[in-house]
Amino acid sequence: MKSIKITLFAFFVAFGISTKAQNDFTLYQMRAIPQVTTVNPSAFPLSKVNIGLPVISGTYLSFGNSGFAYSDAVRLTDDDSLEIDLDNAIDRMSDRNIISSYTRTDLFSLGFKAANNYFSIGITEVFDTRFFYPRGLFEFLWFGNGGSNLGQRISFNGLGLDFIHYRKIGLGWARRIGPNLTVGARFNYLYGGEAIYFSKSQLGIATDPIDYSLTVDAGMEVNTSGIRRISDISSGGSVSTDDILDYLLRGNNKGYSIDAGFNYELFDLFNISGSVIDLGSINWRDDLETYTLEGGEFTFDGVDLFSLVDPIVGETSASGLQNLVDSATNFFTDFDTLPNKSFSTPLSPQIYAGVTYNLTNRVRLGVLSRSQFIKGDLSTSLSASLSATVGNFFSTSLNYSVYGRSLGNLGVGLSFNLAPIQIYVITDNAFVAFQPYNVKNTHLRFGLNLTFGRDYEL
Amino acid sequence: MKFTKTLGELSVVFFFLALFYNCERRYFEFDKLKDVTYSPQLALPLVNSRLGMDDILARNQLDLIQTDAEGLITLVYEDNLIEVNPFQLLPPLEQKMEYSLGTGIPGTLTFNVPGSLNYADQVDIDYPAPQDQKLREIKLKSGKLLIELNPSFPGITPDIDLDFTLPGIILADGSTYSVSKSIPSNSPNTFTVDLTGATVDFTKGALADDRFALDYDATINYNAGDQLGKNDKLDYGFTLQDVEIKHVIGDFGSQQIPIAKDSLKISIFGQVSSKGKVRLTNPKLFFEINNGIGLPFRVLFNELYSYNEVVDQTYPILFQTFPNPFPINSPVKIDDTVATSLEVNKDNTSIIEILSPTPKYLIYDVVGEVNPGGGPNYNFISDESIFKIKARAELPLEGFVDTLKIQDTVEFSLGQTVEELESATVNIITTNGLPLDAKLQIYLYDSKANNNAGQVLDSLITLDNNQIFVSGVPGANGKIDQTTLEDQTIQVVLNQQTAQSMVTSDKMIISAQLETYNAPNQSIKLFNDYGLGIKIGVNLKGAITVGSSDI
């Protein structure tokens, strides 16, 4: 029983902690941390030379659910009891919701200033996973297809799982143009590892309000790359050195992306900035397998009794029912497998736009908006921040942000320097530590850099 | 300094925020989790069937249903073929025919020297036919003639030399039967004659009936001292045995033979109660007779009536213009067969009236009468003289049904509680291409209630919503256009109380009331393109409580 409760807890936490991932409100305001160039390539870090040590220089973790928080589904009642309230949780969902997990590890980074320029290079391993679930799925499971759902198409459109694993090798260049303007860009070469991509996901069920006949419409296309290879290995297949080299260096899953940004100083009090990140895609050509389910409809409108029972002689036969079962089974399992269909997965572009106001040369207030496109959906979030530095060894940023239809997100970023060694910890939602039941997002970035020539005064 | 102040202010703000958002552990005290009520509504289609008359016809393995050129459906009920053995009309053939030859002397004659006496003559041997029957000829496929010679000459010592001929016995080779033999004078002598293919002529050369001639020549030998008495004699006996007849010619008299006493089961009325009225406007009852007996013949219905076993009532037919008895055709040549059809219909009988009470059986007792007008009538019966009769009822489905109630009781057991079912809505959608209105009611019945007296607990359908079929409207041609039918929906709502009654009940009483279009003022016909569609869907509303201890 305890394990079931733990499972229940895990379920609601898993579904209840959310973000659409890759928020970097806090980092964006912390120029003391060299990784700031990953969210705005025009940003000049507050140190002249920055080295990111392999693996430990930067780790980014985020996990979340855009649908609802734990406390939306499990509520405290006036009599000090707990109550599962899935009605409320479903109310909180949007039509399409995402459970996302984003992991990013800096394998190596190097950046340095040269006159009015800042050059950087970085290699990063990225795992990006998104499970899309429609609100209709929960409505169907909780409310059923009867009642108010009669005559409506309950949509499961978009149900699916996107997963990509790739390596990003970026080359960035930021340059001051005149006294107030800084622009920057980074060109990224993307080297794909594995991918699962639901390029088409149409699924719905409609119930006739009179005779309750069920009509299911479906159309699917799932592209994969490298999954078969993993499957072979996990089932005991042998792996040669050549295979490893092929995987690490000689693959054909290639892509490119561009990041670009600007900073503009106004009256020495304001800073206006903006950036576009992850504008690109990966073309997948290795170890391909595509599964398609032709679009169509299947209607079940009841069993023909006379196919089961002869009305004249009264004999029964199961063949009519078997035919029906076969038809339904074929409809849902008749996937075509295409072995060599290449495909492309777009990254999820993000646009940052912000303004800061310098209270002092070490403290500034800021507002920042962030928009992200995920499979055609645009989500926008906002934050207000207060950032500060102390000496050349400490910087911090606090922000309050609204994103993922979650109102209360407190971001905290801290960086310390012991000589050139910089340790930093950043989160966009510190409340996860205090109120895991209320948050929909969790996010953590930490690492260790070597920074030289620091000057934390703005 | 300024920065320190700012940092301090931020710390205060952060502190209060942290207090405000302090962690609430109660969210994870699962032992305080309340029961969860899960109330999904599941709507499912159950049945989608169309029963077309064409489907029924396609599955008609019993030859129960026929259609005419217009597609009018006729139910056909046939009885088994009945064969009548015509030889039962014959008199008994294996009878003994006798003749006794006497000496003709008044006293006793003693012979002193050896010698012989000869007796020769032609005499008649008579067949003992029943009154009003006469035999003229028997053609045998096989058989034998037992000849018994019984001499009684106690005073005579030598054998008797005997020659005799039977001109009426014509053997298979065309010869007449004759024999010569010596027989002991005082002991019986028996022998048989093979009559395979023989003909026995009882006309004695077209001079008589039931009679054939015996030409005999008997020589009585004697020794000296032998005596011949006035009572001495030679008895002849002739008996046909083991005969298989090819044909018989004669006058068989006026006779009555049973043909068929049987019943036709009319299953269409199987579950119909006595209430209501069914009127088939063109029923017919056919008797098909094949007759190979060369006799004047007629069929007599001793009985023809219907029987409704529900009310244990019989309904005898009135023969109006139908001739009862009914003459049937007879062949004029041996080995011919002629057919006769008898049709009992609405025009010659009251058959409509005897079928209106929805009988389950049609019962008939038919006998045959031969030579009904008396004799003499010389006819034949042969081994090819088949007499077969087959009864068939044809019920064209035209007429009307007026307030006919059908009721059936079926065993029913839900077997478990239905607490987790808050309600159920059953939609029944019909598309009726038949000219038939139907109302349906289903009662939940507890046979053990009231000390086993039984009680209806509930009904499933409200009275204002029980018309499951609404009749189609026939057009000017009398047919319903099957392409313009409209759906009819009735809704059955089962609440908790009804559900509880379903648990308690052990029987369901299904009651339907049928009525054809505009009955009884208008007759309708059922055609083979008519059909009936029915869909049933159910919307279940659950009320499933999951206790926290179950989680």
3-state secondary structure A246-282: HHHCCCCCEEEEEEEEEEEEECCCEEEEEEEEEEEEE
Between strands B36-38 and B544-546, the pairing is: antiparallel
* Side chain identity, residue A298: F
pLDDT at residue B360 greater than cutoff 60:
yes
A210 contacts B45? CB cut-off 8 A: no
Question: Measured between beta carbons, which residues in chain B are less than 8 angstroms from residue A302?
Answer: 45-49, 535-537
Gap between the Cα atoms of A335 and A291, Å rounded: 6
Contact (CB, 8 A) for B125 and B214: yes
Q: What is the dihedral of CA A266, A271, A274, A275, to 10 degrees?
A: 120
* Residue at A195 is within a domain: yes
| Residue tagged 């019920």 (tokens) | B395
Contact B7 A388 (CB under 8 A): yes
Note the pLDDT of residue A357: 95
> pLDDT higher for B414 or A130?
A130
- Residue B415 in tokens: 């077997």
Search chain B and give the residue with CA nearest A436: B23
3-class state of residue A72 by DSSP: helix
Q: Are the beta carbons of A5 and B551 separated by less than 8 Å?
A: yes
Residue B87: strand, helix, or coil: helix
Q: What SS3 class is residue B403?
A: coil
Taking CA–CA distances from A10, the nearest residue in chain B reads: B28
Whole-number average pLDDT of chain B: 84
Strands B160-170 and B211-222: antiparallel
Convert the pLDDT of each residue in B67-80 to its tens digit: 888 888 888 888 76
User: Which pLDDT value is given to residue A6?
Assistant: 47
Q: In this structure, are residues B251 and B380 in contact, taking their beta carbons and an 8 Å threshold? A: no
User: Measured between beta carbons, which residues in chain A are less than 8 angstroms from residue B2?
Assistant: 360
Cα-to-chain-centroid distance, residue B510: 30
Residue A387 identity: S
Q: C-alpha distances in angstroms, B512 versus B26, B56, B469? A: 61, 21, 11
Residue-by-residue DSSP string for A272-299: EEEEEEEEEEEEE-SSEEEEEEEEEEEE
| Across B285-298, average pLDDT | 86
Q: Which of B404, B400, B403, B524 is nearest to B472 (CA)?
A: B524
ipTM over 0.90: no
Query: Is B63 a residue whose pLDDT tops 60?
Result: no
- Residues of B in Cβ contact (< 8 Å) with A149: 41
Helix (H, G, I), strand (E, B) or coil at B324: coil
Considering chain B, what percentage of its residues have pLDDT values greater than 70?
90
Task: Choose among B14, B44, B487: nearest Cβ to A212.
Answer: B44
The mean per-residue pLDDT over the stretch B440-451 comes to: 88
- Per DSSP, chain A holds a count of helices (H) and strands (E) of 9, 22
Three-state SS for A3? Answer: helix
A420: preceding bond cis by omega (within 30 degrees):
no
Residues of B in contact with A83 (CB under 8 A): 33-34
Q: Which chain B residues have a beta carbon less than 8 Å from that of A8?
A: 30, 551
Distance CA B136, CA B209 (A): 6
For residues B212 and B138, what is the distance between their CA atoms, to the nearest angstrom?
12
8 Å CB contact of B42 and A311: no
User: Nearest 5°: phi and psi at A249?
Assistant: -125, -30
The partner residues of A263 in beta bridges, in order of sequence, read A182, A273
A84 touches chain B (CB under 8 A): yes
Judged by average pLDDT, the poorest of A260-264, A413-417, B188-192, B422-426 is B422-426
Q: How confident is the model at residue B65 (pLDDT cuts 50, 70, 90)?
A: confident
Kindly report, residue by residue over B83-134, the tens digit of the pLDDT: 888 888 888 888 899 999 898 888 898 999 999 999 999 999 998 888 888 9
Structural domain total, chain A: 1
**Which residue ranges of chain A lie beneath pLDDT 70?**
1-23, 307-324, 328, 331-334, 404-408, 433, 458
**Cβ contact, residue pair B539, A212, below 8 Å:** yes
What is the Cα–Cα distance from A334 to A292, expressed in whole angstroms? 9
Residue A25 DSSP class: H
A143 touches chain B (CB under 8 A): yes
Q: Does any domain span residue A23?
A: no
Domain presence at residue A377: no
Is A268 at the interface with chain B, CB within 8 A? Answer: no
For the segment B239-266, what is each residue's pLDDT rounded down to a tens digit? 999 999 999 999 988 888 888 788 877 7
Q: Cα A1 from chain centroid? A: 33
Assign B271 a pLDDT band (cuts: 50, 70, 90).
low
CB distance B61–A431 less than 8 Å? no
Instruction: Give how far Cα A193 sits from Cα of A61, A99, A100, A231, A281, Å.
Output: 19, 22, 19, 14, 13
Please report, for residues A312, A419, B132, B253, B296, the alpha-carbon distance to residue B374 in angstroms, rounded to integers and kept in the order given. 51, 148, 9, 7, 10
What sign has the CA pseudo-torsion A136, A142, A148, A149? positive
Instruction: Give A223 to chain B, closest Cα distance, Å.
Output: 34
Indicate left, alpha or beta for A212 from its phi (over 0: left) and psi (-120 to 50: alpha).
Answer: left
Any residues with CB less than 8 A from the CB of A69 and at least 6 apart, and which? A16, A17, A18, A92, A406, A437, A438, A439, A440
Domain region containing A211: 30-348
How many residue pairs bridge chain A and chain B with CB atoms within 8 Å of each other? 158
Helix (H, G, I), strand (E, B) or coil at B470: coil
Please check whether residue A214 lies inside any domain of the structure: yes
- Distance from the Cα of B500 to chain A's closest Cα (Å) equals 23
Residue of chain B whose Cα is closest to the Cα of A432: B23
Nearest to A48 by CA among A326, A451, A372, A338: A451
The backbone torsions φ and ψ at residue B57, rounded to the nearest 5 degrees and listed phi first, read: -65, -40
Cα A145 to Cα B549: distance, rounded to the nearest angstrom: 28
